[in-house]
Amino acid sequence: MVSNMADRRMGRSGEPGMSDKPDANWQHIIGKRANRDIFSLRGTLLVPVMTLITREQAKLLEKHNIVLTDQDLSDIGPYMNPESFTHHRMIEDMVPQVKSLFDEVRETREIPLAELRKEVIPMIHEAMNDSHLLGLFASLQAKDDYTYRHNIAVGAISGLLGTWIGLDHQEVLQLTTAALLHDVGKMLVPLEILNKPDKLTEQEYAVMKNHTVLGYELIKGTIGANHRQALVALQHHERMDGTGYPFGIHRNKIDLFSRIIAVADVFHAMTSSRVYRSPAPFNEVLFQMEKDTFGALDPVITRLFIEKIMSNLIGSEVLLSDGSEGTILMVQAHDLTHPFIRSGDAFIDLSKDYSIQIRQILLA
């Protein structure tokens, strides 16, 4: 079931190595980063450590019959160069601050709501006001700090979604606060489960799912918080088709804030590195988001979100699944996630050629 993949843990899958069929497997390593210097069998350096694998390098490795393992490569997710974003440093500084405040919840079983409102919410809103949407998303992409950066990211993305659907300033403020606290119940989940690098057992997954109820109770008992914020903690894993948890409610029985935050939650989870899963490439993220609009996620909110992402990509440089680079020229209303692209001297309509996908956004 993919509708709750923001929280469900799947077993690790191995990445295919180089093959004697260049059209089959070599494309799977494009866009990944080398974790070590990669040499030929004769000792010639082919790919230096930290290099992003391009089509030419992938074919070079294939030519030298070099087989790469999971340990040789890292997925870096849908974006490159997040440091170019105006507020990147501010977000980096915000993460340890949020960690400190949320760790306080683990120790005291109380939410420092006043501090969060005074110190964190204003910075989230400042970041939301930057015009470089994909730069913001890239800066929010979690690496080895998912538990805490995720709260900031869902707050920012949910706030943007609230603004886009026409909520007033006070509603957006309430939504951002609810989003920041949506996973607060995880602070009461045992660390050995929260940070387990392998697939959870059924019993462990049941404990993990209970973070929704724990979060609801924590927020409900917090002075200054309101019922709607508590409801978001309870409902953010409910799904439109009734496949979610903890109660399996559906459609309009799920609060609007919860439906907005579910979209932000799933998107950020898929684009981030977690202890048990690497970040997904851009095309897989959008494919899953689109797929979930047919049952799991609110279709109106999700389509609006995809529209905003794709319209902000016009003029952007992208890395394609065949290893070439291109520029997005036009987004097509009939197929938002497969735009019209120029690559070198060629023009490619991705809505007519599904063999090529956008793997990464190359932020300038």
Q: Is residue 332 part of a domain?
A: yes
Do 103 and 184 fall within a single domain? yes
pLDDT at 2: 40
CATH of the domain at 126: 1.10.3210.10
What is the per-residue burial (b if ≥16 Cβ within 10 Å, else e) of 291-320?
ebbeebbbeebbeebbeebbebbeebebbb
Q: Identify the domain boundary among 293, 310, 327.
A: 310
Count of structural domains, the chain? 3
N-term to C-term CA, the chain = 36
Whether residue 342 sits in one domain with residue 291:
no
Rounded to 5 degrees, what are φ and ψ at 39? -110, 155
Residues 358 and 270 both lie in one domain: no
- The answer on 239 and 97 residing in a single domain is yes
Phi, psi of 222 (to 5 degrees): -100, 125
pLDDT on residue 284: 87
pLDDT for the residue 231: 98
Tell me what pLDDT residue 8 has: 39
- Predicted pLDDT of residue 6: 43
Q: What tokens were used for 105?
A: 């919840």
In this structure, the answer to whether residues 226 and 322 fall within a common structural domain is no
Secondary structure (3-state) at 173:
helix
Q: What is the pLDDT along the chain (364 residues), one digit of tens a residue?
A: 344 444 433 332 333 333 333 344 566 777 677 889 999 988 999 988 877 777 778 888 888 888 888 788 877 677 766 666 777 888 999 999 999 999 999 999 999 999 999 999 999 999 998 778 888 898 888 777 888 999 999 999 999 999 999 999 999 999 999 999 999 999 999 999 998 988 899 999 999 999 999 999 999 999 999 999 999 999 999 999 999 999 999 999 999 999 999 999 999 999 988 877 778 888 889 888 988 877 899 999 999 999 999 999 999 999 888 878 899 999 988 899 999 999 999 999 999 988 888 988 887 6
Domain containing residue 239: 79-310
d(CA 196, CA 180) in angstroms, rounded, equals 23
Q: What's the pLDDT tens digit per position in 2-56? A: 444 444 333 323 333 333 333 445 667 776 778 899 999 889 999 888 777 777 7
User: What is the pTM for the complete model shown?
Assistant: 0.83
- Burial class of 165 by CB neighbour count within 10 A (0 to 12, 13 to 18, 19+): middle
User: Is 17 within a domain?
Assistant: no
Q: Are residues 62 and 196 in the same domain?
A: no
Q: Which residues on neighbouring strands pair with residue 40, listed in sequence order? A: none
Question: Is 290 in the same domain as 195?
Answer: yes
Per-residue pLDDT, 82: 60
pLDDT in tens, 179-200: 999 999 999 999 999 989 888 9
pLDDT at 26: 61
Residues 211 and 164 in one domain: yes
Judge whether 190 lies within some domain.
Answer: yes
Q: Please check whether residues 54 and 145 belong to one and the same domain.
A: no
